[in-house]
Structure 1
Amino acid sequence: MIETPAYSRCPLCQASAAWFHSDARRPYYQCSDCLLVHVPAAWHLSPAEERAEYDRHENQLDEAGYRGFLSRLADPLLARLQPASQGLDFGCGPGPALAAMLREQGHEVALHDLYYYPNPQHLAQQWDFITASEVVEHLARPLLVLDQLWGCLRPGGWLGLMTKRVTDQQAFVNWHYKSDPTHISYFSERSFHWLAQRWDAHLEIIGADVVLMRKPETA
């Protein structure tokens, strides 16, 4: 049995994170600064186990309910994009419905997903927008990945993220979102404010699970 330490290191801001909660599977730690809740590396799934969990998902490209869910990110982003923008759907999964929805509105959308659409060359390009729907909660090294995505945005570009947010410890105890073993990084509202300050970004908190951040026009 792995010993549960009292403290861990936040994978987002690197501040100290104290024990927050434990369930039958693993412990969770919350950062004292950005309030990110994370699962330490000793309790992460292997790549093969992670892929097996993803393969169980059954979201279909044309499923109305799934499209309605994704519209919570797509609609506010579309309202802010210039016509015929070029974007990247990062972590799109096996059925890239969000990319399809954005393409239907006249935008160009490339795909990159570690398991289903591995196109790492797209991370060496520049984009008008980048989307990551239900992705950041899976990241073992969120700062590394998010800094990389931010660097791929053109000046004035938009980063659109969808992920459910931590509110408080009492709600977390019974939160269904932590039951997915591939979820290891849980963002709070303060986590996104921390990122916005780091990047000098314009931050918009939209609803309970959508965040848009705009890159400055000039450095």
Structure 2
Amino acid sequence: MEEDGVGKEVITQLTTSMLTNKEFYTDSNGRDFLKRVRDYREDWSLQVNEPVAGNYYPLNLGIYIKDNKSELSILVDRATGGGSIKDGQVELMLHRRLLSDDGKGVAEALDEQVCQNNNCQGLTVRGNYHVAIHNLRSGSQWRRTTGQEIYSPLLLAFSHENMGNWKAFHETKGTLIDPNYSLPPNVALITLEELDDGMVLLRLAHLYESLVKTPSFQL
């Protein structure tokens, strides 16, 4: 953001005609999606003093809204904040640059800058949103599968090494798995590591939400 003496909060807002009854869903550390209700807390009686900030939640994977017919899902490629301030609407924080302290305890303004050769400017923020509309109860698999692709994209790797030499030093001595076998789309490989005592540590994760699809795979 440019320096013009005015604090700014830049948001992305998607508006639909969906009847969402104050409800929306945000991810919990990139895993399960939790139901949120605007101006409400399940654990205590909420006094609404901040109708916008009080309905923002941290997003690591995404946010979605739904009604009795359809779902609107938005996935992010980096941590941000989001909420549903009005029914049928999703709001995502793109960037903030505030020049005055908001009195919330930090005792300084949210004015991050990048400096080079004593020349300081406001940060430039970039990000990608992945947006999809599905029929009701059809968006869960897309959110999990696409979210995994965003979190762990395929990487191209190249080598100048002779393929014959490489195979000679990386020959597989034995395997119990069919070389053509691959894990189902709802199962992710987290860790495959040989330990010092010769044992192998294998950690797998169920990507889909509960009750969507029971994981099944070969070992």
* Normalised TM-score (structure 2): 0.20
Which one has a bigger Cα radius of gyration?
Answer: 2
Higher fraction of helix: 1
Higher fraction of strand: 2
* Normalised TM-score (structure 1): 0.20
